[in-house]
Structure 1
Amino acid sequence: MVPMKLAEALALRSDAARRAERLRARITASARYQEGETPAEDASALLAEAGEALGELESLIRRINRTNAVTVVREGGTLTDALARRDVLRLRHSVVTSAADAAAGEGQRGYRQLRSELTMVPALSVSELRGQADDLARQLREVDTLIQRTNWEVDLLD
């Protein structure tokens, strides 16, 4: 048996989650029907199928998490550490970009300032924030590339 790569397991996990969600919607649509009518689908069979899909999803999540926790990446630390770093870099980038947009007055479309009104001035340096956002975006790309490369190099653990 050929070992499965982590990236393949991630794709299967995504498919299993989507399949479980589609089954949930079908179960909900078939759970009640009008007396004298035939339901569109057998809700009990769908429920059993959803249970199998969710069991498969749980197994994949466990194996993926186990693999991430023990896989050491090239920059040091585990794949789980790299995933945490990527998540926080995304949040940092979002915060800094939002701060720059707010300081620049973006999002205030239609706001017109008259000479007699008080002038709005930025409390933060927009150019510095944009520079920080660019640096964070670069770091995010580098970490994401590392994660993607590792996903295709590492075999999924049992």
Structure 2
Amino acid sequence: MNDDEEGAVVLAEALTVRSDLAKRLEQLKARLLRNAKVQKGDTPAEDPAQMLEEFERNVGELRSLIARINATNAATVIEGGLTMTQALAERDMLRLCVAAYRDLAKEATITQSRTTRSEVRFHPTVSVADTQKKVDDYSKQLRLLEVKIQKHNWNTELV
């Protein structure tokens, strides 16, 4: 990714390149492992030395790109003094809350049908309605924040 030739690079493009590089490194790793050993007298299907060179080149490119993305996120203010880095941390916490409350609501929902009087009866220890409301509230906050993040990803030039 060379911004001198292509003009300014926006954050969203850099994030896509980062994802592609990470996938490429995983693929190279898998290919390297498949060619790490051969039966004596055989040759590997691919040259591990060439793949290692490509791997190291990609690692260097990814390292540089991640540093630029992080610097951009730290310097980008998306609203009311909130930096992109802080917004991303908030997004992670909202995702955690949505998942936890969703799982709690699911677990507290009683779906057993009793066929005899001697069967164990379960009762929820939390209000499923209140818990589901929390899921809805956190989900809405998450959606709104993700829209802001995406908007800034496409409007922010990479440092």
Q: How many residues of Structure 1 are paired with residues of Structure 2 in the alignment?
A: 153
TM-score (normalised: structure 2)? 0.92
Query: 1: distance between equivalents of 2:81 and 2:121?
Result: 50
Question: Are residues 1:24 and 2:36 paired?
Answer: no
Deviates more, 1:46-55 or 1:73-82: 73-82
Name which of 56, 64, 67 aligns with 1:62. Answer: 67
Query: 2: distance between equivalents of 1:77 and 1:58?
Result: 25
Query: 2: distance between equivalents of 1:142 and 1:97?
Result: 19
Give, in angstroms, the shift of residue 80 of structure 1.
Answer: 0.3
Give, in angstroms, the shift of residue 124 of structure 1.
Answer: 0.6
Name which of 101, 105, 116 aligns with 2:106. Answer: 101
Q: C-alpha root-mean-square deviation of aligned residues, in Å?
A: 1.3
Letter in 2 for 1:4: V
Query: 2: distance between equivalents of 1:27 and 1:21?
Result: 10
% identity of equivalent residues: 44
Query: 1: distance between equivalents of 2:45 and 2:117?
Result: 66
Name which of 149, 152, 155 aligns with 1:153. Answer: 155
Q: Which secondary structure state, in structure 2, belongs to the residue aligned with residue 73 of structure 1?
A: strand
Give, in angstroms, the shift of residue 76 of structure 1.
Answer: 3.1
TM-score (normalised: structure 1)? 0.92
Query: 1: distance between equivalents of 2:120 and 2:36?
Result: 61
Query: 2: distance between equivalents of 1:70 and 1:44?
Result: 39
Q: Which secondary structure state, in structure 1, belongs to the residue aligned with residue 90 of structure 2?
A: helix
Query: 1: distance between equivalents of 2:33 and 2:80?
Result: 47
| Match of residue 126 from structure 2 | 124
Letter in 2 for 1:95: A
Query: 2: distance between equivalents of 1:68 and 1:50?
Result: 26
| Match of residue 85 from structure 2 | 80
Give, in angstroms, the shift of residue 75 of structure 1.
Answer: 4.3
Give, in angstroms, the shift of residue 57 of structure 1.
Answer: 0.5
Gaps of 5+ in 2: none
